[in-house]
Structure 1
Amino acid sequence: MSITFAGRRFPRPSFRRTSALAFAGVLLAVTVPLVSLGTAQPAAALGNGLALTPQMGFNDWNAYGCNVSESLIKSTAQAMHTNGMQAAGYSYVNIDDCWMTHSRDSGGHLVPDPAKFPDGIKGTADYVHSLGLKLGIYEDAGTATCAGYPGSLGHETTDAQSFASWGVDYLKYDNCNNTGVPAQTRYTAMRDALAATGRSILFSLCNWGQENVWTWGAGVGNSWRTTGDISPSFSSMLSIFHSNVGLASYAGPGHWNDPDMLEVGNGSLTATENRTEFSLWAEMAAPLIAGTNIPSASSDTLSVLTNSRVIAVDQDPLGKQGTMVSSSGGLDVLAKPLANGDVSVALFNETGSTATITTTAAAIGKTGASAYTLTDLWSGASSTTSGTISASVPAHGTVMYRVAGGTSSGGGTSVTGELHAVGAGKCLDVPDSTTTAGTQVEIWSCNGGANQTWTHSTSNQLTVYSGSSQMCLDAYDNQTTPGTKVEIWPCNGQRNQQWTVNSNGTVTGVQSGLCLDVTGAATADGTLAQLWTCNGGGNQQWTLG
């Protein structure tokens, strides 16, 4: 939905926000060695057995807005049935806003607009089901939908029962007109109402990435939007990519980060940019929800949407979201471990000129072979390499390889333990075990407490505590100057919360390139931590585990 709301989707005051796009072109070079350091704890998933791989389907909003109808949904379903999309894995045909009348009936039930849906939602669902596809519908966790139709806030039980009785298989649940009620409360109410119907209904949370939804979404829905709405332009896609790519540790089978619907085939996106969006969404294990005019889609658009090699990366049963291996000057390398031991690599050129992007098998977590096989997932061509992975990538383009051979470290697993300050012989510590955002961290005698237990995630966050209390190590106010304080803050995926644990013992901030430093090389309990220019000193040496 096209929603205007103030600011970004993060909890900080506006003066502490920095758009990911604002620094996309000036990122410092970062290399993350993807070595196996421990075992990640699986996130608690919703447990409804749905979306064990990211959901695939269609939604009408991006192409049609409020002009939804039974005939549109049926013609789209029929096209998907015959044009190769259904065979490629697309299974949901989703109705967005404006499908109902402006008033509930005398019994408090939602009423499908009889002019738009003469056979009702059930009749439409029956037709979609007859093709072997599934039907999705839209509602809102507020008093009204974004287009002004009745919302479900306070009507969750009634509306869930209606959806189930109509044969609905998927609910996209929006966030307009929410009256300030906390999102988790509103979305959990609908989760419970859907469960009570006894029907399997995939639950897609659409609260625009607000209230750190990724930290609680896994127990509430099958996917959650991590950003505001996408639009059919490269700049919109790029901004959303940067907001979503750092949240890999929260995704997995049954619970996925959702960077919004695909714009492939829409607006000003070029053929190269269409392939890039599809590549990046697959690499990030995102839901693949097509948002274009399917019956009239060009052969080029369909060839992107039905690329089986790229879809296999998105739908890989291991369920890992790809992470950024390196990023320098708008040249990005992402790696995604796959269930059979292969690794998918995306070489993404954000810039306006053709550029060569290079990484290595070791950097993406591959070892133990004299030669590796590279399969280009767009051309299908195969080649071999002794370790270098490189391609000339056009402006705004992405080259995707599937890398086979040798052994895989799993694409970078999380490690949990104390973060030891080598020079002081102490541990990185949250003072007094507080959970207050903005508290500067310090060193303290190691004691094994939860306030000294840190997890370096596959998305390069350093987290402390767990569940609703989880906090991230954060460079204050997105600052990148020596002396910037290092604090705890609710995890939000921004680059000032991403850290590289380097093989030389340093811990560097992805955004700043500066080292995690014990102030003044002091060794006393309570000495504060900060960012400082890397200098090889013992007060910048750390071990995790």
Structure 2
Amino acid sequence: MRHLSPRTTRRRVVGSLAAALLCAAGLAAPAAARDTGGAGSAGGAGSAKDTADRSTAASARPSAPDAKLSGGLALTPPMGFNNWNSTHCRSEFDETMVKGIADIFVEKGLKDAGYQYVNLDDCWALPQRDANGKLVPDPKRFPGGIKAVADYVHSKGLKLGIYTSAGSKTCSDIGFPGALGHEVSDARQFADWDVDYLKYDNCNNQGVDAKKRYIAMRDALKATGRPIVYSICEWGENKPWEWAADVGHLWRTTGDISDNWSSMLAIMKQNLPLAKYAGPGHWNDPDMLEVGNGGMTATEYRTHFSMWSIMASPLLIGSDLRKATPETFDIIGNKEVIAVDQDPLGKQGDVLSSEGGRWVVAKEMKDGSRAVALFNETGTPQSIATSAKAVELPDADGYTLRDLWKHKSYNTAGKISATVPAHGTVLLRVAADGNWAKNPPAVELGLNGAPLVEAGKPAKLTSKVTNLGRTPAQQVSATFTGPSGWKIGATSPSTASSLRTDKSLSTSWTVTAPQGAAPGAYDLTLKAAYRSPGGTRADSVLPLTAHVVVAPPAGNSAVSDLPWMSTVNGWGPVEKDTSNGESAAGDGKPITIGGVVHAKGLGVHADSAVEYYTGASCEKVTAQVGVDDEKDPKGTVTFEIWADGKKAASTGVLTNADAAQGISADVTGAQVVRLVVTDGGDGRDSDHADWADPVLSC
């Protein structure tokens, strides 16, 4: 099973089982997958016009070259809402909810920000078609029918979307009627309901060629004469970016997203290389937004929204807006970030660099400016830099640099740089517009050294304030604050009268956590304040996470008995002394590799990282590693050991066919050791990985 979401887990089971049964019976598609009804609402009379649709998609032929997708739609990436990520098939997904979302779009300013589509996902229909072969809306969920919901949504100046699958059934466990063999009839039904958007999934497709299935629905939608945005959702399995520009307005490039950092990161990495395929009317779709669903931090959600925007991705809200916090509305309603996504030039951002998890992604904008994302994949703050020249801006004396999350403008002499918090993104818009001098200079505020503190022992750290601007930064001061009871003091000057371009103020600090402070993460804040030559006040704030740590004991210790600093896991939590299991904590099994059971270890799922404080007092890490037997025969992973940000050992790709393999790394002098598992190169499907019998020698 592909561990990306509950829906994707079902896809493999439902699709493969149905295909096997049909194949055994010698059928191309079930009898129910034949069109018998005509246009009109569910239950309406049949029409002779539907006879052309009675063959199954198995016999569908590619259309003639002139039967291309209707133009003029989705000239910028679609923006809206889809219920699946927050409700799945639960009873709360109904007419009242959908109408309420439309109301919230208007009341909270989301409509004004550009959100248009209120989209229904799976489970809106009854499990069976009517006697005429028509789809029937579930009368409990939608007592007024889909047309009435569409009328309400349209009355708010918004648009309605609907869902079905290019197979005999949809993707839910229940399996509602799919459109395979019913393309013309279903498309006409959607058009008669005044639907504006169709998400067309990939489950139970009976092995019919993807191009044929998706072209069949394209032609059926076009034949209705109604402008309907067509979203191809075949999970990137057939590389739709290479063939679907004339078939759909957008196409999924990945499997389903889940509400966690690892899933979002993996999907982003799959989508970023596909920039050349995106443009007005044809977009790469890395799946819906998870912002507000609770599985990531606010910093991670801002990264999610920033990166989806610079990738010119469809922005479909996946959280229940009836329960959304002000912070969620602040993120999804950021008009300056949305403007990056909706820029009419229609370019997806290009990756300029990604060394060491420090990403620079730049996007050309129609007005000649550049949107620049400085994205930090790692678990510690990182300085990430590029330049006006590197993002292909023209030579100029100075540039205007706009921070799209702070909503403040600065000037820069050409360097574009920031110290970015762990898992954070600084999203900028940089222009050679001639107005740079009216803005205060940009500064970069950073910290040399990781804030790892043993309770009662002073740690030494150094901050740096660097002027990136063409104009001087004046009356510069640095301050460093922490929780109540912490002692933080400067041991060198923390002020400067003036900093010219590229000059820095470095300040040494001692940071002491109170005696008895519990191990864990604590918030610190580093701040720089200064003035422009014209007297304008400005500041820069860097939020930091300090870890109160405990040095490991001398001798050999089972790693699973030690407290970790942080974990990232591709599916569910990291488990101690059991396998990864499924999504819930504690649902793993005994660690088993190649039939051999191991009592101690860590059960993880790619992509995964587990960090430990070693305090420069340890020498070696050893383990037996491999793919857990619970997912035989799937899973391909690579195990790595990192010491203070440098790779110290790697196994290469391992599969279920491999017995446990030994891995050992010299970590002498390292403050932090990180145990990493990456995907073996074929996707994260069933990548259950075990660190069996891991030992840290100190």
Tell me which interval the TM-score lies in, with the shorter structure as reference length. Answer: 0.5 to 0.7
Q: CA contact under 8 A between 1:366 and 1:406: conserved in structure 2?
A: no
Cross-structure match for 1:18: none
- In 2, distance between residues paired with 1:184 and 1:355? 44
Q: Do structure 1's residue 106 and structure 2's residue 131 form an aligned pair?
A: yes
**AA aligned opposite 1:131:** K
Is 1:50 equivalent to 2:50 in the alignment? no
Give the Cα separation in 2 of the matches to 1:268 and 1:89: 26
> Equivalences for 1:92-241 in 2 at 5 Å?
92-147=117-172, 148-241=175-268
CA distance in 2, matches of 1:238, 1:217: 25
User: Is 1:402 aligned to 2:429, yes or no?
Assistant: yes
Q: Distance between the aligned counterparts of 1:198 and 1:46, measured in 2?
A: 12
Instruction: Tell me if the contact between 1:46 and 1:254 (Cα under 8 Å) persists in the aligned partners.
Output: no
Instruction: After TM superposition, list the pairs within 5 Å mapping 1:259-298 onto structure 2.
Output: 259-298=286-325
1:350-372 deviation digits (Å, cap 9, x = unpaired): 00001111111111111220111
Deviates more, 1:396-405 or 1:381-390: 381-390
- Name the counterpart of 1:414: none
**Maintained 8 Å contact 1:46/1:255:** no
Match of 1:514 in 2: none
Q: How far apart are residue 391 of structure 1 and its match?
A: 0.5
- The one-letter code of the counterpart of 1:52 is L
Which residue of the other structure, out of 54, 59, 63, is the alignment partner of 2:82? 59
Query: Could you tell me how far 1:195 is from its partner in structure 2?
Result: 0.3
CA contact (8 A) 1:203 1:221 kept: yes
Shift >6 Å, 4+ stretches: none
> Quick one: which amino acid aligns to residue 268 of structure 2?
F
Q: Distance in 1 between matches of 2:77 and 2:239?
A: 20
Q: Is the 8 A contact 2:382 2:422 kept in 1?
A: yes
User: Which deviates more from structure 2 when the two are superposed, residues 75-84 or residues 331-340?
Assistant: 75-84
Residue 348 of structure 1 is matched in structure 2 by 375
- Given that residues 251 and 257 in structure 1 are in contact (C-alpha distance below 8 angstroms), is that contact kept between their aligned partners in structure 2? yes
Is the aligned partner of 1:89 residue 2:114?
Answer: yes
Q: What SS does structure 1 have at the residue aligned with 2:321?
A: coil
Which residue is equivalent to 2:15? none
CA distance in 1, matches of 2:367, 2:386: 21
Offset at 1:290? 0.3
Check conservation: 1:273, 1:396, Cα contact below 8 A: yes
What corresponds to 2:351 in structure 1?
Answer: 324
CA deviation digits over 1:312-338, x for unaligned, max 9?
000000000001011110000000000
Cα-to-partner distance string for 1:375-422 (whole Å, 9 max, x where unaligned) = 000001111111110001000000011001069xxxxxxxxxxxxxxx
1:338 paired with 2:365, answer: yes
2:410 aligns with one of 378, 383, 402: 383
Does the residue aligned with 1:260 lie in a helix, a strand or coil? coil
Across the aligned residues of Structure 1 and Structure 2, the Cα RMSD in angstroms comes to 1.7
Task: Give the drift of 1:47.
Answer: 3.7
Q: Deviations over 1:275-294 (max 9, x none)?
A: 00000000000000000011
Per-residue deviation at 1:79? 1.0
- Report what 1:74 is aligned to: 99
C-alpha separation between the residues in 1 aligned to 2:163 and 2:281?
Answer: 20
CA distance in 1, matches of 2:295, 2:96: 27
| 1:3 matched residue in structure 2 | 8
For the 8 Å contact 2:69–2:218, the answer to whether it is kept is: no
Q: State how far apart, in whole Å, the 1-side matches of 2:238 and 2:127 are.
A: 29
**Pair 230,279 (structure 1): closer, same or farther in 2 beyond 3 Å:** same
Would you say how many aligned residue pairs link Structure 1 and Structure 2?
A: 372
Q: Distance in 1 between matches of 2:369 and 2:75?
A: 20
What whole-Å deviation, never above 9, does each CA across 1:3-29 have from its counterpart, x for those lacking one? 1367xxxxxxxxxxxxxxxxxxxxxxx
Could you tell me how far 1:347 is from its partner in structure 2? 0.2
- Does structure 2 retain, via aligned residues, the 8 Å contact 1:226–1:243? yes
Name whichever structure is richer in strand by fraction: 2
Contact 1:88 1:308 in 2 (8 A): yes
Q: Secondary structure at the match of 1:367?
A: coil
Query: 1:400-446: CA deviations, max 9, x gaps?
Result: 11001069xxxxxxxxxxxxxxxxxxxxxxxxxxxxxxxxxxxxxxx
Q: Per the alignment, in what secondary structure is the counterpart of residue 210 of structure 1?
A: coil
Contact 2:126 2:136 in 1 (8 A): yes
Kept in 2, the 8 Å contact 1:214–1:250? The answer is: yes
Aligned-pair distance for 1:46?
3.3
In the alignment, the residues of structure 1 paired with residue 283 and residue 415 of structure 2 have an alpha-carbon distance, to the nearest angstrom, of 31
Quote the offset at 1:48 in angstroms: 2.7
Structure 1 position 296, deviation (Å):
1.8
Q: CA offsets per residue over residues 180-204 of structure 1, 9 Å max, x none?
A: 0111110000000000000010000
SS of corresponding position for 2:153: helix
**What is the Cα deviation at residue 45 of structure 1?**
8.0
Q: Secondary structure at the match of 2:368?
A: coil
Is the CA contact 1:45–1:218 (under 8 Å) kept in the aligned structure 2? no
Q: Distance in 2 between matches of 1:172 and 1:281?
A: 19
Post-superposition offset of 1:49? 1.1
The code of the aligned residue for 1:102 comes to P
State how far apart, in whole Å, the 2-side matches of 1:328 and 1:212 are: 27
Distance 1:86 1:384, change over 3 A: same
* Contact 2:231 2:250 survives alignment (8 Å): yes
8 Å CA contact 2:69, 2:222 repeated in 1: no
Whichever residue aligns with residue 340 of structure 2, its letter is V
Matched position secondary structure for 2:386: strand
What amino acid maps onto 1:152 in structure 2? A
Structure 2's unaligned 5+ residue stretches are 1-5, 13-66, 435-637, 639-698
Could you tell me which residue of structure 2 aligns to residue 417 of structure 1? none
Q: Tell me if structure 1 keeps the 8 A contact 2:164–2:200.
A: yes
Question: How is 1:479-494 mapped onto 2 (pairs within 5 angstroms)?
Answer: none
Say which SS state the counterpart of residue 124 (structure 1) adopts. helix
Q: CA offsets per residue over residues 37-76 of structure 1, 9 Å max, x none?
A: xxxxxxx983431100000000000000013211110111
Deviations 1:433-463 (A, max 9, x none): xxxxxxxxxxxxxxxxxxxxxxxxxxxxxxx
Does the aligned pair in 2 maintain the 1:279–1:400 contact within 8 Å? yes
Distance 1:135 1:348 in 2: 34
Give 1:393-472 correspondences, 5 Å limit. Answer: 393-405=420-432
Are 1:315 and 2:342 counterparts? yes
Letter of the 2:382 counterpart: A
Higher RCO (Cα < 8 Å, 6 or more apart): 1
Distance 1:182 1:54 in 2: 27
CA deviations over 1:103-127 (Å, ceiling 9, x no partner): 1111110000111100000011111
**What amino acid is aligned across from residue 122 of structure 1 in structure 2?**
K
Tell me, what secondary structure is at the counterpart of 1:237? helix
AA partner of residue 114 (structure 2): G
Question: Does structure 1 retain, via aligned residues, the 8 Å contact 2:70–2:222?
Answer: no
SS of 2:401 mapped into structure 1: strand
- Kept in 2, the 8 Å contact 1:48–1:200? The answer is no
Instruction: State the alpha-carbon separation in 2 of the partners of residues 334 and 184 from structure 1.
Output: 32
CA distances 1:136-174 after superposition (whole Å, capped 9, x unpaired) = 000000000001000000000000000000010000000
What residue is the counterpart of 1:256 in the other structure? 283
